[in-house]
Amino acid sequence: MSTVNGGISFWYAQEGIPDPREPLPGDTSADVVIVGGGYTGLWTAYYLKKAVPFLNITVLEAKFCGYGASGRNGGWLYNGIAGRDRYAKLHGHEQAVRLQQAMNDTVTEVVKTAAAEGIDADIHQGGVLEVAYTPAQLARLKAFHAVEIAFGETDRTLHGTRETAERIRVQGAVGSTWTPHGARLHPAKLAKGLAAAVEALGVTIHESTPVTEIRPKHAVTPYGTVRAPYILRCTEGFTASLKGSHRAWLPMNSSMIATEPLPASVWESIGWEGRETLGDMAHAYVYAQRTADDRIALGGRGVPYRYGSKTDNDGRTQPGTIEDLREILTRFFPALAGTRIDHAWSGVLGVPRDWCATVALDRSTGLGWAGGYVGSGVATANLAARTLRDLIQQDSGQGGPTELTSLPWVNHKVRNWEPEPLRWLAVHSMYAAYRGADRRELTGSTTETDRIAQYADRLSGRH
């Protein structure tokens, strides 16, 4: 059987594409319009409606809820947030510790709320294990571990070769760090369950309804315009396709593969009984999960960016990327050399120029937005949603400032990306540098991070 490429994602091949909801029938009005039906939009609708049940909320979704990264991701629900270290520099260490604490709590919040709403998204709270398999990666791993502890994650642990192998036997692994603040989930089941929960609360969802322009108090679609005091842009990696936002968050590609279900004999050789989400310390890092039906789903960057901020065609990825990911899979687990790859797909995530996630409400226009999560959006979208709820309640006089509205990522401003071809050149050069650095670190014995990778980090605005 050959590998299915695209079809949105493996998660939808398993779950089935949901029945479409009705598009917008014509001009109308609402109290809040949410553009985009991914985790950010759906969680925002959820918390707003729960807080103020009489609010008239409309979600406008170009395709179907969960069509974007929310239905295609690696299913790492974890406490990482893009930009925390920069926020520490801008606002002080204590503020960044608050942000980190809020992220730790967010993992628990998602698990708890999914259970309360009866959403079965194959959630397993096994934490996150990140491994090192080169001397340079090990040095980075130890430094990373120390930094996380300094940001208040005192329950994070560090492991040597033997202890790492007791959890997951990644070939050549010389160390790992583990945090309990993470869970594995089935992305599409969460998106589908959330959309149903939101609808059951009385939120209106229109699918197959692309918004062509957002302006104060107006969301314009080919079928009509929805007027509302608040319009929230929750389009993450697709934001560049909106009028006036072409150079905002850059749509970065990430691709994944899913193996066939693996037999017990293979799991005996690999371990992974704790079902931790698994990552590494490479510059072009890898992320993986053991699925509920005993496959490995593994992702990495592949071709990172398409010229002109284009996005993929329903999740199709490049054949070369499938081979690269298969190579990583068998380098990690040589026992999988003959294993079938059932599915390959890709999606886009949003990268701001300074690599910092943000959530914002412009009180003078009523326009709000959240995103730029740079590949750490599964939990962050939930924190963003609760923050948007509080910002709107504050603005409409139904509440005051809260613990969430004073977090350092709220209303953070970021400059635009450079025009093409500079944007394309910058991202491709950066990832070429990372891949080269990973190769050199793999064959070398130095404990120092490759200089070119450090330079690429600085040049790209990543660190």
Q: How many CB atoms lie within 10 A of CB 93?
A: 14
Alpha carbon distance 194, 201 (integer Å)? 11
Residues numbered 167-226 forming contacts with ligand FAD, rule: CB under 6 A? 210-211
DSSP-derived 3-state class of residue 128: strand
- Residue 240 interacts with ligand FAD (CB under 6 A)? no
- Residue 60 interacts with ligand FAD (CB under 6 A)? yes
- Residue 242 interacts with ligand FAD (CB under 6 A)? yes
CB of 344 to ligand FAD, least distance (A): 11
- Residue 75 interacts with ligand FAD (CB under 6 A)? yes
Q: Give the one residue of 40, 100, 179, 387 binding ligand FAD; rule: CB under 6 A.
A: 40
Q: Give the one residue of 10, 24, 38, 107 binding ligand FAD; rule: CB under 6 A.
A: 38
Binding residues with ligand FAD: total (CB under 6 A): 44
Q: Give the one residue of 24, 33, 35, 226 binding ligand FAD; rule: CB under 6 A.
A: 35
CB of 174 to ligand FAD, least distance (A): 24
- Residue 37 interacts with ligand FAD (CB under 6 A)? yes
Tokens at 258, concatenated? 């899913």
Contact 449, 143 (CB under 8 A): no
Contact 39, 378 (CB under 8 A): yes
The window from 59-67, 101-109, 413-421, 440-448 that contacts ligand FAD (CB under 6 A) reads 59-67
Nearer to ligand FAD, 139 or 357 (CB): 357
Contact 100, 152 (CB under 8 A): yes
- Residue 376 interacts with ligand FAD (CB under 6 A)? yes
CB of 163 to ligand FAD, least distance (A): 24
Contact 77, 185 (CB under 8 A): yes
Residues numbered 295-354 forming contacts with ligand FAD, rule: CB under 6 A? 299, 347-349
CB of 265 to ligand FAD, least distance (A): 28
Closest CA to 380 of 22, 73, 153: 73
Closest CA to 57 of 282, 229, 315, 284: 229
Nearer to ligand FAD, 304 or 371 (CB): 371
- Residue 98 interacts with ligand FAD (CB under 6 A)? no
Alpha carbon distance 160, 177 (integer Å)? 9
Q: Can you state the percent helix, strand and coil of the chain, rounding each to 5?
A: 40, 20, 40
Nearer to ligand FAD, 73 or 460 (CB): 73
Q: How many CB atoms lie within 10 A of CB 228?
A: 20
Contact 361, 269 (CB under 8 A): no
Nearer to ligand FAD, 138 or 302 (CB): 302
- Residue 238 interacts with ligand FAD (CB under 6 A)? yes
- Residue 280 interacts with ligand FAD (CB under 6 A)? no
End-to-end Cα separation, the chain, in angstroms: 43
Closest CA to 308 of 216, 451, 419, 459: 419
Interhelix angle for 451-460 vs 422-443, to 10°? 160
- Residue 36 interacts with ligand FAD (CB under 6 A)? yes
CB of 186 to ligand FAD, least distance (A): 11
- Single-letter residue type at 267: W
Q: Nearest-5° angle of CA 189, CA 84, CA 274? A: 45
- Residue 355 interacts with ligand FAD (CB under 6 A)? no
Residues that bind ligand FAD (CB under 6 A): 35-41, 60-63, 67-70, 72-76, 210-211, 234-238, 241-242, 254, 256, 287, 299, 347-349, 371, 373, 375-379, 381
